[in-house]
Amino acid sequence: MLACLSACSENSAPGEPDATYSRVVTLAPNLTELVYAAGAGNTLVGVSAYSDYPPEALDLPIIGDAFVVDQERLRVLQPDLLLVWQSGTPEHVVDELRHAGYTVEVIRTRGLEDVAGALRRIGELTGYREEAARVASAFTQELRSIRERHAGRDDVRVFYQVSRRPLYTINGEHFVSGLIDLCGGSNVFADLDGLAPSVDVEAVVERNPEVMLASSDAGEDAFAEWHRWPHMAANQYQNRFLMPADAIGRATPRLLLAAQAVCGALQQARERRSLAVKEAP
C-alpha cells in the first residue's frame, strides 16, 4: 500500500489532475491484460515476457520480465509510464527504474477487489477513465451477483495447491482465496502469513480439506501424491479439480471465468460429500 501511495504521489501533485500517458510499458503479464481491459491497449509500446493475452499483446516488443529489464530496449521505446506489479516486481527494480528517470506506477492486484481499482487507476493514467470505470463496475457487479447466488450454501473446506514440489498454497489475502470465499467455500490455510506460503504435507493432512484445487497447467498428475492418504476427506469424496490456468492465474477480469469453474467444482464437491454421507454405513 505504501509503495502504491508513493507511486501515486510521484505521478501527480496534490490537488492537481493526473497527467495522462500515451507510451506505456508493462512489467507483468497481468498488467498488460489490465491495460487492454481498460480500453487503453493502443497506449502500449512494450510488455513483459509471457504477455500473451489478448493476442494483440504478442505483437509488442518484450522488454524483459519483473526481475530483469532490457534497459537498452527500454530507452529505444521511450515510454512515458512504466506499470509494475506490487506483488511481483522487486523493490530494487522499481528503485532502479525511478533512478533512471522513468515515471513508475505500482499496481496492486492481491485480492479480488484490487482488480476494479487497478482498472480505474490505469484508465485515469491513460486517459480512458470512463471506459475503464465501466469495465470495473461490471466486474464488481458480477462478483456481487456470484456471491449472492452462492450465499447460504454449505461450507466446504478447500486446499489450493499452487505447486507440488516445493508445496505452496495461498493465504486469505490472495485473489484465489477470494474466489473460494465467493463460492461459499473456506480456504484451510487462510490464516497463514505471506501471499503464497509454503506448507508441509502433514499440515495439509491435519487440516483435512474436503476439496483440492490446482491450476490445469499442473497436469493430470497434480494430485497423484495425495493418494497416500485415502482417509483425507478430499480423497474420500473424490473432490480433486483442476481449474483453467489462463483464467485463474492472473488478477484480471478473466477471474470471472475462474469463478464459474471454482463455484462449479465446489457445488459438485458438496453433492459428492452429501452422497458419501448418505451411503456411509
pLDDT in tens, 118-140: 999 999 999 999 999 999 999 99
Domain check: are 84 and 6 in the same one?
A: yes
Inside any domain, residue 119: yes
- Percent of the chain at pLDDT above 90? 84
What pTM was computed for the model?
0.89
Q: Which residues in 212-232 are b (16+ Cβ under 10 Å) and which e? A: bbbbbebeeebbeebeebeeb
Name the packing angle between helices 29-37 and 112-126 (round to 10°). Answer: 70
Q: pLDDT band for position 3 (50/70/90)?
A: very low
| Final residue in a domain of this structure, among 107, 139, 171 | 139
Asked if 153 and 184 count as a contact pair (C-beta separation under 8 A), the reply is yes
Q: Are residues 129 and 159 in the same domain?
A: no
Cell numbers 510499458 label which residue? Answer: 25
Query: Are residue 125 and residue 6 in the same domain, yes or no?
Result: yes
Query: Under the phi-then-psi rule, with left for phi > 0, alpha for psi from -120 to 50, and beta for the rest, what region is 275?
Result: alpha
Interior angle at CA 132, CA 131 and CA 133, nearest 5: 90
Q: pLDDT class for 4, splitting at 50, 70, 90?
A: very low
Q: For residue 13, name the pLDDT band (cuts at 50, 70, 90).
A: very low
Mean pLDDT over residues 39-49, rounded? 97
In a domain, 145, yes or no: no
Give residue 265's pLDDT.
98
Within this chain, do residues 128 and 27 fall inside the same structural domain, yes or no? yes
Q: Domain range spanning residue 31? A: 2-139
Residue 16 has pLDDT above 60, yes or no: no
| Last residue within a domain, chosen from 113, 139, 165 | 139
How many angstroms separate the Cα of 96 from the Cα of each of 66, 87, 106, 172? 12, 17, 14, 31
| Residue pLDDT, tens place only, 150-164 | 999 999 999 999 999
- How many whole angstroms separate alpha carbon 176 and alpha carbon 160? 8
Residues 6+ apart with CB under 8 A from 77: 23, 25, 45, 46, 61, 63
Q: Check whether residue 8 and residue 104 sit in a common domain.
A: yes
Name residues whose C-beta falls within 8 Å of residue 53's C-beta, 6 or more positions apart in sequence: 29, 32, 33, 36, 246, 254
Average pLDDT over residues 196-207: 96
pLDDT for the residue numbered 278: 81
- Please count the structural domains in the chain: 2
Residues 6 and 135 reside in one and the same domain:
yes
The answer to whether residues 10 and 132 belong to one domain is yes
Same domain, 85 and 191: no
Cβ atoms of residues 31 and 107 within 8 Å: yes
Q: Residue 277's pLDDT is what?
A: 80
What was the pLDDT predicted at 18? Answer: 63
**Alpha helical stretches, state H, 38-128:** 71-77, 91-99, 112-126
103 and 212 share a domain?
Answer: no
Same domain, yes or no: 119 and 222:
no
211 in a structural domain: yes
**207: CATH:** 3.40.50.1980
pLDDT band at 15; cut points 50, 70, 90: very low
- Expressed in percent and rounded to 5, the helix, strand and coil fractions of the chain are 50, 15, 35
Give the separation between CA 140 and CA 89, rounded to whole angstroms. Answer: 26
Amino acid at 27: L
Is 42 part of any domain? yes
In a domain, 146, yes or no: no
Last residue of a domain, one of 139, 161, 194: 139
pLDDT at 17 over 80: no
Reported as a single tens digit per residue, the pLDDT across 163-181 is 998 999 999 999 999 999 9
The rounded distance, in Å, linking the Cα atoms of 107 and 91 is 13
Mean pLDDT of 42-68: 94
Report the distance separating Cα 109 and Cα 8, nearest Å.
15
Kindly state whether residue 147 falls inside one of the protein's structural domains.
no
Note whether 21 and 126 are same-domain residues: yes
pLDDT above 70 covers a percentage of the chain that reads 93
Residues 64 and 178 occupy one common structural domain: no
Mean pLDDT computed over every residue of the chain:
91
